[in-house]
Amino acid sequence: MSFPSPEREPASAAGRAPAGRILVADDKPENVLLLKAYLTREGYEVVTAHDGLEAVRSCQESLPDLVIMDAAMPGMNGFEATREIRRLYPDKWIPILFLSAYASDENQARGLGAGGDDYLAKPVNLAILSEKIKAMRRIADMQTRIIDYAARLQDSIEQDQIDQNLAKHLLERIIRTHETAEETVHSWVSPAANFSGDVVITTRGPSGALYVMLVDATGHGLAAAISVLPVIEAFYRLTERGFSVSSIVQELNRKIHNLMPRDRFVAAVIASIDSADRSIELWRHSHGPFRQCHRRSAAGMAIRPSPTWRAAKQELE
């Protein structure tokens, strides 16, 4: 095995950082010296081992970026050493390149089966060896980046789940799902995501009138849930003070107009049911601000005249 004269200084002499750390395992000192000299000139940091057991121990002390493994060595041979390295580091890919005088198809298959990634025969063309090493390093670097991206993605998923659980808890508290449900109203909501902007709210006003609001915000998940929060807050605040549906709608319209971007909207149905005077006031609108009013009556119940917008504004003021 021979190599051409180098055309550049060794990495250490030129003051450059090593291109990588390579473990050379071979029981022939002359082979080790030749490979170490050549790879050092190529810019690599080289550590050596003279049998398979020494190679395994070297990996345990400090993992190399690549291993050049001889097949036939006394004691633990290269095949056994490769299997042991793979066993010790199942989740870490270390490129292992066999370099051996035993180049039969059987030995090549044995080396690859033991966990080797390539198999070159001695005497080796050093230019080809250099390009093989570079190819292995490119693959290893790509795998490292993929593992890093996967870890960051997993961290992001876990953090997103924490955020979603917190948002879900806050939304449930704001909607007051922990309070006793209104027995006369039955609802069913099945969000497409963990939670959404689809909300059914019931509450009683000071006079005992039952207020019901069905809300549907644009989109799904956290963005939709956030969109309905100001609507929910205003609805509870105004119903607790006994405001009419018209006044509630006008306040919701103002909040949505001031807070929501133009590509987002909230659709809603709001009703006030007063069993004392047997009347229902109903507002329904979608696709934008609450601008329109539709009144309906239940069988046997009278329609209560809905306040005008001017009256609603005065009530809010």
Q: What is the mean pLDDT of residues 107-122?
A: 95
By CB atoms closer than 10 A (0-12, 13-18, 19+), residue 267 is: middle
Cis before residue 123, ω within 30 degrees of 0?
yes
Residues 56-61, mean pLDDT to the nearest whole number: 96
Nearest of 244, 258, 34, 9 to residue 124 by alpha carbon: 34
Average pLDDT, the chain: 81
pLDDT for position 287 = 45
Average pLDDT over residues 271-281: 85
pLDDT band at 109 (very low <50, low <70, confident <90, very high): very high
Average pLDDT over residues 280-290: 63
113 burial (CB, 10 Å; 0-12 / 13-18 / 19+) is: exposed
CA distance 65 to 96: 9
The pLDDT of 272-277, averaged and rounded, is 85
What's the CATH number for 11-148? 3.40.50.2300
Q: Which helix (H) or strand (E) holds 181?
A: none
How distant, in Å, are the alpha carbons of 168, 201, 221, 303 from that of 277? 38, 22, 40, 10
pTM above 0.75, yes or no: no
The tens digit of pLDDT for each residue in 209-266 reads: 999 988 888 777 777 878 888 888 889 999 999 898 888 888 888 888 888 888 778 8
Mean pLDDT for 50-70 is 96
User: Cα–Cα distance between 69 and 81 in angstroms, integer?
Assistant: 9
Domains 11-148 and 176-316 share a fold: no
3-class secondary structure, 185: coil
Q: If you average pLDDT over residues 196-210, what whole number do you get?
A: 85
- CA 158, CA 162: separation in Å to the nearest integer? 6
Instruction: Assign domain 176-316 to its CATH superfamily.
Output: PPM-type phosphatase domain (3.60.40.10)
Q: How confident is the model at residue 317 (pLDDT cuts 50, 70, 90)?
A: low
Domain ranges of the chain: 11-148, 176-316
